[in-house]
Amino acid sequence: MITFVGAGPGAEDLITVRGQNLLKEADLVIYAGSLVNPGLLSLCRKECRVYNSAEMTLEEVMEVMLDGEKKGQKIVRLHTGDPCIYGAIREQMDELDRHGISYEVCPGVSSFCGAAAALNAEYTLPGVSQSVVITRMAGRTPVPERESIASFAAHHATMVIFLSTGMLKELSAELIRGGYEPSAPASIVYKATWPEEKVLRCTVEKLAETAEAAGVKKTALIIVGEVLEGEYERSKLYDPSFTTEFRKGKTNE
Ligand code: SAH
């Protein structure tokens, strides 16, 4: 049996209880060594075979998985954050399907949630933004033009931008091209939830110089939007005058 497990954003105790149990029981673990906290591997049994996928191709990962499966082993494929975000799991699942091997997913805490925690932010504030755009700048992996940063920026919804710390000048230009004021609030969260976490608050136009001054070059998320500061409306859910399924609203007489 193969389980894709979300390792969480970094801190060792931010993996789920289920993910922790799967690691404790595993015979074979293939972990994404570039970002998964290696401390999590101390949960594994002494006999557990451990591979770092950062040094492997998809074919090599499959070879190891198929070998473990043949031996009837419990296999964990450990991905950073939650595997559904830039996790390259679909191509592994398709290969497993081709071989008639079943698998499951154990979700994890994505780094975009870890970053919100670091910022004490709510991404969906009434009267400000009710949507979160998770995206990236085009790199070696292209991004379709209809999903350009500028086109999303035009919505002024909260944006969480992955995999783009090396392109912050271009990112600022794209955000401004899409309609953000250069002075609109932005943040850089480096290694959210790790001990070395850094939270840098700045503006859309100052992303590159802020990152450079702090020596941040990778493993960061860029958060953009008015939810980072300023006015918002109170929620209806906790408004005394609002009736919900669970609570009757009080009228002011
Ligand atoms: N599946 C992962 C994302 C993998 S893509 C998730 O759900 O978080 C790798 C990118 O995620 C990095 O380049 C960086 O932009 C971001 N990232 C991953 N962990 C991070 C963390 N702890 N803090 C900030 N950014 C992180």
pLDDT per position as a tens digit, 22-39: 999 999 999 999 999 999
- Percentage of the chain beyond pLDDT 70 is 99
Task: Tell me: do 60 and 152 sit in the same domain.
Answer: no
Task: Tell me: do 69 and 31 sit in the same domain.
Answer: yes
Q: Residue 188: enclosing H or E segment and its boundaries? A: strand 185-190
Confidence class of residue 64 from pLDDT cuts 50, 70 and 90? very high
**How much is the mean pLDDT over the chain?**
96
Is residue 243 situated within a structural domain? no
- Indicate if the pLDDT at residue 253 is higher than 80: no
Model pLDDT, residue 221: 98
Ligand 1 midpoint to CA 162 (Å): 6
Confidence class of residue 48 from pLDDT cuts 50, 70 and 90? very high
Model pLDDT, residue 84: 98
Q: Is the Cβ atom of 191 under 6 angstroms away from ligand 1? A: yes
Distance CA 130, CA 45 (A): 44
Output the domain CATH number for residue 78.
Answer: 3.40.1010.10
Confidence class of residue 252 from pLDDT cuts 50, 70 and 90? low
User: What is the total count of domains within the chain?
Assistant: 2
Model pLDDT, residue 140: 87
With beta carbons less than 8 A apart as the criterion, state whether 224 and 161 touch: yes
Model pLDDT, residue 251: 78
Average pLDDT for 62-85? 98
- Indicate if the pLDDT at residue 88 is higher than 90: yes
Read off the pLDDT of residues 183-196 as tens digits, 9 standing for 90 and up.
999 999 999 999 99
Q: Is the Cβ atom of 81 under 6 angstroms away from ligand 1? A: yes
Q: Is the Cβ atom of 53 under 6 angstroms away from ligand 1? A: no
Model pLDDT, residue 189: 98
Given 72, 106, 140, the domain boundary residue is 106
Is residue 88 situated within a structural domain? yes
If you search the block for the tokens 């700048």, which residue do you land on? 137
Q: Is the Cβ atom of 113 under 6 angstroms away from ligand 1? A: no
Ligand 1 midpoint to CA 189 (Å): 10
Q: Is the Cβ atom of 87 under 6 angstroms away from ligand 1? A: yes
Q: Is the Cβ atom of 220 under 6 angstroms away from ligand 1? A: yes
Is residue 73 situated within a structural domain? yes
Q: Give the domain range for residue 33.
A: 2-106
Q: Is the Cβ atom of 7 under 6 angstroms away from ligand 1? A: no
Task: Tell me: do 72 and 170 sit in the same domain.
Answer: no
With beta carbons less than 8 A apart as the criterion, state whether 179 and 224 touch: no
Q: Is the Cβ atom of 123 under 6 angstroms away from ligand 1? A: no
Distance CA 46, CA 83 (A): 26
Ligand 1 midpoint to CA 233 (Å): 30
Ligand 1 midpoint to CA 27 (Å): 27
Is residue 85 situated within a structural domain? yes
Model pLDDT, residue 146: 92
Distance CA 108, CA 114 (A): 11
Read off the pLDDT of residues 198-217 as tens digits, 9 standing for 90 and up.
999 999 999 999 999 999 99
Read off the pLDDT of residues 212-235 as tens digits, 9 standing for 90 and up.
999 999 999 999 999 999 899 989
Q: If you take atom 11 of ligand 1, which residue's CA is the nearest one?
A: 162
Residue 81 makes CB contacts below 8 A (sequence gap 6+) with 6, 7, 8, 9, 35, 87, 108, 109, 110, 111, 112, 114
Given 77, 106, 135, the domain boundary residue is 106
Is residue 241 situated within a structural domain? no
Q: Is the Cβ atom of 219 under 6 angstroms away from ligand 1? A: yes
Task: Tell me: do 221 and 124 sit in the same domain.
Answer: yes
Model pLDDT, residue 250: 87
Give the angle subtended at the CA of 53 by the CAs of 51 and 58, to the nearest 5°.
Answer: 120
- Indicate if the pLDDT at residue 153 is higher than 90: yes
Task: Tell me: do 38 and 63 sit in the same domain.
Answer: yes
Ligand 1 midpoint to CA 51 (Å): 20
Task: Tell me: do 99 and 136 sit in the same domain.
Answer: no
